[in-house]
Structure 1
Amino acid sequence: MLQMTRNAKFHVVVFIIIAAFTSILLNSIISITPYPRQHQVSHHALLTRQQSNDANNGNPTWLPDNTKLLLSDARIDQLWAENLITTDERNRLKAAKKGFALLCSMKASTATSPTDPKFLPNGDRTSQDILDEYGWKQINTRNAQDQESKLLFESLTSAFDGLGVSNDKNSWIQNTAEHSITKPGYPATHGKYQNYFDLSDGAMIAASNWSPEMMVLKEDLDIDDDEVVPLRRWSDVVWNSREDVISINKNQESEVKKIEHVFRHNIASGATQNVIRMVADVTMPEKLGEWPGLSYPISEPQALALLSSPNAYGLAWFLIQHKSSMGIRYIDRINIFDCKVLGQSRWCMYLHIADA
């Protein structure tokens, strides 16, 4: 009996040490900041609007044990199969776990990138050379006057004012990159990435983005998987597009700032909408409220879950893949809000980027 007691004590001590180490590890990576926590408050009360963007709408009951972020997917599924966690808890945990992995990669000292080195400018190859090589044609327009651009800027006016970003369309360059040229082995897919860049404020609006793979499916194109252009990811194409915009316009700008403010406007992805619904417990975008909507520092599991969504993880890879040019930077806050267009509610997301 004495030996069993000693073993039991030993295992208890080991468990306590492991739990403490895990908590310290998570907190050091996430860099938890002293934002006020809203304990003992119902979830619906957490939807109270804040006017500044330093609020924390995190709900401490949404994922109360952040040490579970280190569990494997198989272990999470096992807990669910044994009825130790609910289906909602499993979905929340898996989303936050994926976001946590992206956060770790953003904060890592070296790039952990799937990007082929040939997509990175080197020697005499410019970003424009790379885009041309793979059949991407670009159009750059400063002060775009089309109706869609006007409505987009109107819907983000409050956010621009709150963040100190210019609402003058002369400061913004509309960049449209379309995969419209067939190259040897890579037929044109008509994938299209349309984004707006404000170089002097370090801001970007991701407006309408259809990858080559998405267009192959959408248009039922007779293109095999191995024929889809390898320069296809949003993170690679848009990074090269922005580099090209900088090279063309740098003499017209007072300064070119590091990218800091990124908007995902009028989100159409059903997968991203479902993550937003899961995080905020809402069914429609109007429930989020207009800017600043709901704001989550990256220390919150809700922010990690949002980071796992298709409209956020592309930006994470944008930062992960290009550290040699931009340094070690990470997404430190995410807002979800209603950006009404002509009075109709729309899903929008804002991601703030900081130096690690």
Structure 2
Amino acid sequence: MARRLLLRALTFLAVCLLIFVQVSARSVPHTRAESLVDSADWLHHSKSSNISLHPRADDKPPPLTWDKAVQNGKGHMCNCERLETPPHPKTGEPKPVWTGDDLDMYWTPQDYYIGDARETETTISLRNAFSALKLSTTFPPNKGFVLYQDSDWTGKDGKRYLATYGHYSGIMNPADGFVVAEQSFSPWEETKNDSPRRQPPLTQWSDVTFLTWARFAQNPKELINLKYFFRNHIINDDTKNIINEALRRTGQSLSEWPGVEFSMTSDEGKAILGTPNGGGVAWFIVDHKKELGVKTVESVTVFKTPGKDAEGNNEDWYQAMFTIVPGTGKKKGKGKGKGKGKGNGKRDSSGLDEGLWEYQS
């Protein structure tokens, strides 16, 4: 009897031990050589400034809706007509003033390549639009720019932050009155997988582009001579979706120049202005009233040009041209500005930072 009880106890202990071993095998990770991070690599990855994290699914903002885009556009139009620059949308504080010295501190100019024919892929692509508007397609008088955020900086907290390698490029001609935005990769966008995500004090496309415009302008007359703002080869999904919806609602389709024009009195026009690409144009004129005077967006023309995708296949490129006109200044504000927009003609004309907008433009 005692022997039988002892045998049952030993059997029970053996079963428990077997279960424990199986569970432990599932719980302990494999330690094969190929699954380990090299110690030197681990030191690199352990530095918070160098960690590259995969974004969580909930990190991506929800798609821009039609109603929200229209609402954004209405807000931009109201700000355009104000006599004074509105305060920071989140803090209510006056926005900081940027100068050419700030541009030189945080951004580095790079060479802008121009072909032997004094044209670029962009000006060739937009040739029909430029010809219809009597704008120059050659360099000079057109001027190209490429700016990289490739300098580290010290924040207000005393910490050193690594360069983001955000970059902006485009074409300008203050004498003819146009800007073409080409590549627009903000510091915030370029560090979306980094920890910490970061951007320098002078970061917004609209501020950096305005300071470049102010440098290219030869005199006060050229400084305020802004008539057309092109967003070239739009790749932002929200912007493209809103353009498609605007065309659908009006029974039209994306076509080559002269394309389809939407007045800012229409919801379609406001919706396109309320996209990430349209918002950047609005902030450009809203935040620089002191230099540009009171200006507003009259209309937006959307059209397509033939292009190539990353694999070299043919595709349609989305284009948008915003027509800029003097504003009426009818919206009341506390400022005393007259909206004459004479400027000071200095190469280091100041700009104003719109801060973190809902969409990084």
| TM-score higher than 0.5 | yes
Q: 1:221 aligns with which of 177, 194, 204?
A: 194
Correspondence for 1:93:
67
- Provide, for residues 52-72 of structure 1, a one-character-per-residue CA deviation record: whole Å limited to 9, x for no partner: xxxxxxxxxxxxxxxxxxxxx
The residue identity in structure 2 corresponding to 1:215 is E
CA RMSD of superposed structures (Å): 2.8
SS at match of 1:288: coil
Contact kept? 2:119, 2:139, Cα under 8 Å: no
Relative to structure 1, the CA distance from residue 294 to residue 350 in structure 2 (aligned partners, 3 Å threshold; closer, same or farther) is: same
Q: Higher helix share goes to which structure?
A: 1
Tell me: CA distance 1:291–1:117, structure 2 relative to 1, closer, same or farther (3 Å).
same
Amino acid at match of 2:146: T
Write out per-residue CA displacement over residues 79-135 of structure 1, whole angstroms, 9 at most, x where no aligned residue. xxxxxxxxxxx94333212201110011111111439754433xxxxx1x11123x2
Which of 127, 138, 141 is the matching residue for 1:157? 127
**Match among 264, 267, 276 for residue 231 of structure 2:** 264
CA contact (8 A) 1:144 1:173 kept: no
| TM value normalised by structure 2 | 0.63
Q: Does 2:138 correspond to 1:168?
A: yes
Q: Tell me which residue corresponds to 1:197.
A: 172
In the aligned structure 2, how far is the partner of 1:276 from the partner of 1:240? 29
SS class of match (1:209):
strand
Q: SS where residue 114 of structure 2 aligns?
A: coil
**Pairing 1:210–2:218 present:** no
Contact 2:177 2:222 in 1 (8 A): no
Once the 2 structures are TM-superposed, how far is the Cα of residue 228 of structure 1 from its aligned partner? 2.2
Q: What are the residue-to-residue correspondences of 1:1-356 with 2, within 5 Å? A: 91-114=65-88, 117-121=95-99, 127=100, 129-133=101-105, 135-139=106-110, 141=112, 144-145=114-115, 150-184=120-154, 185-217=160-192, 220-222=193-195, 224-225=196-197, 227-246=198-217, 250=218, 258-281=225-248, 287-341=253-307, 344-356=315-327
* Offset from partner CA, 1:245-297 (integer Å, 9 cap, x none): 33xxx28x995651111111110111111111111129xxx941101211011
The 3 A distance-change label for structure 1 pair 148 and 273 is farther
The structural deviation recorded for 1:341 is: 2.7
State the alpha-carbon separation in 2 of the partners of residues 321 and 296 from structure 1: 24
Deviation at 1:241? 1.8
User: How far did residue 178 of structure 1 move?
Assistant: 0.7
- Cα distance change of structure 1 residues 234 and 149 upon mapping to structure 2, 3 Å threshold: farther
Larger Rg belongs to: 2
Pairwise CA distance, 1:148: 12
CA separation of 1:228 and 1:256: change in aligned 2, threshold 3 A: closer
Question: How many angstroms apart in 2 are the aligned matches of 1:100 and 1:118?
Answer: 24
SS in 1 for 2:162: coil
TM-score, normalized by length of structure 1? 0.64
In structure 2, the partner of 1:37 is none
Worse-matched range after superposition: 297-306 or 109-118: 109-118
Q: Runs of 5+ in structure 1 lacking a partner?
A: 1-89, 122-126
Percent identity, please. Answer: 23
* Residue 116 to residue 230, structure 1, CA distance change in 2 (3 Å): farther
Are the equivalent residues in 2 in contact too, given 1:113–1:320 (CA < 8 A)?
Answer: no
Where 1:258 maps in the other structure, the secondary structure is coil
Q: What is the CA distance between 1:139 and its match in structure 2?
A: 3.2
**Cα deviation code 1:193-228 (max 9, x no counterpart):** 0011012101111011100011002xx334x24x42
